[in-house]
Amino acid sequence: MAVLKYRTAGESHGRALIAIIEGMPARIPIDTAFVDTELRRRQGGFGRSGRMKIERDHATLLAGVRRGLSLGSPIAIQIENRDVRLDEAPEVNRPRPGHADLAGSLKWLTTDCRDVLERASARETAARVAAGAVARSLLCEFAVEVVGFVVQIHDIVASVDLQATADELRAGRDANEAYCPDADAAERLIEAIRNAKNDKDTVGGVVEVRVCGHPPGLGSCMRWQDKLDGRLMRAVGSIQAFKGVEIGLGFAAAARRGSEVHDEIDYDPELRDTVCAGFTRRSNNAGGLEGGITNGAPIIVRGAMKPISTLRKGLDSVDIVSKKAQRSDYERSDISAVSAASVVAENVVAFEIARAFLEKFAGDTLYEVRKAYDAYMEAVRGLGNARA
């Protein structure tokens, strides 16, 4: 059985971005309208650059889908760029601190940072969003919901209810340009971006992704490579400009005692037929994962994004050719891309959940996957009954 995975190709100002997904079972309805919706959301958010006014991201399915259903073969997705000038774009010799410019130029032995920055650019995340959105066609069949949003920009921190439903989070998030469910904080988040723009500076922030409706038992503790928390941290941590990832209580757990951290367990027979199979928690500091395995509680993942590396006022740097002190080059860039990054995080998390789901409930077709899922959930709900 093929493992669900994907790869991307394309440069920021090349002809197109490409995502190729392998391991998707056959007969899954692929919601192309949803894919385009996610691409549009990635282009939005307060603080984006003029580039997003040029692009009109749309996913074209080149292979792997017939009459709206997956075939079981690799799915190829193309997102055309409108701002195509890869060969004509000028050289960049003054690397930007914080970007891949200098590190990449040293790695690939070039004095033109453009050879590096074109691929290192966050434009690549459009392909990742498309791949995640396609994977969510599978999750949708099993009522698994994934919601990403902003919880902090610069030093302004929002307050988001841990008990909020996916629908409530989505509605609150989509009501403002900050992509934040906390309506009271949203305007202050936008003001922080506006102030940075006036100062020709940039700001970062924190995004959060919640997953609910998934079954327990995804991931494994048998091999470190299979621990789902590690895989989620890799997926989120690999997003451009992300510098930290935490699950559940995260780093704050280090300052507490065990009695203040671990989620005590109860059993509610009235919830036996839900995905938690009746096993409930009094808190969710673990963020839905214990030992690298989902425990039935909502998954909570957060990622910290640093400020964008390209500043209008520039930063001190060195010309790679002359070795003389210079201000860094300016490439058209965002003031803040935290809102857009929440969309990327949402979809890379969704892909990892879909991958773990298919590892647990393998099948060549949606029919087989559903049979495996139903059989497992029946066994979980009946756990221990033979001893009663």
User: What CATH number should be reported for the domain holding residue 35?
Assistant: 3.60.150.10
pLDDT (average), residues 62-66: 98
Could you tell me if 19 and 4 are in contact, meaning their C-beta atoms sit under 8 angstroms apart?
no
pLDDT (average), residues 334-358: 97
Could you tell me if 348 and 240 are in contact, meaning their C-beta atoms sit under 8 angstroms apart?
no
Could you tell me if 130 and 19 are in contact, meaning their C-beta atoms sit under 8 angstroms apart?
yes
**pLDDT beyond 60 at 386:** no
pLDDT (average), residues 179-208: 95
Mean residue pLDDT of the chain comes to 94
With pLDDT > 70 as the criterion, what percentage of the chain qualifies? 97
Total of domains in the chain: 1
For residue range 178-193, what is the model confidence (pLDDT) as tens digits?
999 999 999 999 999 9
Q: Mean pLDDT lowest for which of 18-27, 256-265, 327-336?
A: 327-336
State residue 316 phi and psi, 5-degree precision: -65, 135
Quick one: 203 exposed, middle or buried, by C-beta within 10 A (0-12, 13-18, 19+)?
Answer: buried
CA–CA distance, 38 with 51 (Å, rounded to integer):
17
CA–CA distance, 195 with 207 (Å, rounded to integer):
20
**pLDDT beyond 90 at 384:** no
Q: Return the pLDDT at 334.
A: 86
**pLDDT beyond 60 at 92:** yes
pLDDT (average), residues 71-90: 95
For residue range 273-318, what is the model confidence (pLDDT) as tens digits?
999 889 999 999 999 999 999 999 999 999 999 999 888 888 899 9
Q: Return the pLDDT at 385.
A: 77
Q: Which of 116, 278, 300, 146 has the alpha carbon at shortest distance from 208?
A: 300
pLDDT (average), residues 83-88: 92
Beta carbons within 8 Å of 334's beta carbon, 6+ residues apart: 47, 48, 49, 202, 308, 340
Of the two residues 47 and 261, the one the predictor is more confident about is 261
**pLDDT beyond 80 at 98:** yes
CA–CA distance, 337 with 240 (Å, rounded to integer):
10
Retrieve residue 283's tokens: 């808190």
- Residue where the block lists tokens 């709900």: 381
Q: Which of 23, 61, 31, 36 has the alpha carbon at shortest distance from 351?
A: 23
CA–CA distance, 4 with 233 (Å, rounded to integer):
18
Q: Return the pLDDT at 34.
A: 97
Beta carbons within 8 Å of 204's beta carbon, 6+ residues apart: 153, 154, 241, 304, 305, 306, 307, 308, 336, 338
Q: Return the pLDDT at 332.
A: 66
Q: Return the pLDDT at 388.
A: 40
**How far is CA 255 from its chain centroid?**
28
Residue 223: pLDDT band with limits 50, 70, 90: very high
**How far is CA 387 from its chain centroid?**
43
Q: Return the pLDDT at 309.
A: 87
Buried b (16+ CB within 10 A) or exposed e, 216-237: bbbbbeeeeeebbbebbbebbe
Q: Which of 87, 90, 94, 163 has the alpha carbon at shortest distance from 314?
A: 94
Longest dimension (CA), the chain: 80
Domain that holds residue 22: 5-387
